[in-house]
Amino acid sequence: MNGIIIYRSTYGATEQYARWLADETGFPAVRQREVTQEQLRSAECVIVGCPIHAGRPSSAGWIRRHWPLLADKRVILFTTSGAPPALVQGFTASLPEHIRSRIEYYPLGGRMLFGQLKPAHRLLMRIGQKVEKNPEAKATMLLDIDNVDRAGIEPILAGIRVHEQSLDGRIDTNS
């Protein structure tokens, strides 16, 4: 199976996962703004990686716009966030059901180093902290978090292996 990894990264966590996936799969890792239509057309598997911004995958709009090219492919989305990976509300709210149901979704641990944030992002985090009602969440919102872990890609790789084995089985059956 041939594929491509398309990523959008703000502070490096998503790019790190994309590079690790490229090392393991042999798929090229391409920045979202640099991917070509031909690369999308020729890939059987498209892995999209992006951070969560304001609770939603930052590439959701890109996925919607490119869905006509993606609809007949295996599409995997991984997101990175300083929030717990179990939070998937942004995924369900940002993509329509007919797209969401065709995407394999993997929320991964991300990184937020407050001192390295752009001024606008620091301001948004401070505003978010002021309006946060949960005292536990409020206390941790401005703390540095680094949950980037190579082990996070294992479920994605396992899914790709299972899919490839099923394709191999179909090929063997038809030969």
Res 124: pLDDT: 87
Residue 116, domain member (yes or no): no
Q: Write out the DSSP string of 138-172.
A: HHHTTS-EE---GGGGHHHHHHHHHHHHHHHHHHH
Question: pTM for the whole thing?
Answer: 0.86
Res 172: pLDDT: 39
Q: Write out the DSSP string of 58-118.
A: TTHHHHHHHHHHHTTSEEEEEEEESS-TT--HHHHHHS-HHHHTTEEEEEEE-EE-GGGS-
12: left (phi over 0), alpha (psi -120 to 50) or beta: left
Q: Could you tell me the CATH number of the domain that includes residue 56?
A: 3.40.50.360
Residue 159, domain member (yes or no): yes
Residue 129, domain member (yes or no): no
Residue 32, domain member (yes or no): yes
> What is the helix (H) or strand (E) element at residue 43, kind and residue range?
none
Quote the number of domains for the chain: 1
Residue 68, domain member (yes or no): yes
Res 71: pLDDT: 97
- Digit-by-digit pLDDT tens for the chain (175 residues) are 899 999 999 889 999 999 999 999 999 999 999 999 999 999 999 999 999 987 889 999 999 999 999 999 999 999 998 776 656 667 888 999 999 999 999 999 999 888 898 999 889 888 988 998 888 888 888 889 899 999 999 999 999 988 777 766 554 333 3
Residue 50, domain member (yes or no): yes
Residue 120, domain member (yes or no): no
CB 8 within 8 A of CB 32: yes
Residue 88, domain member (yes or no): yes
Q: Which domain holds residue 160?
A: 3-110+147-174
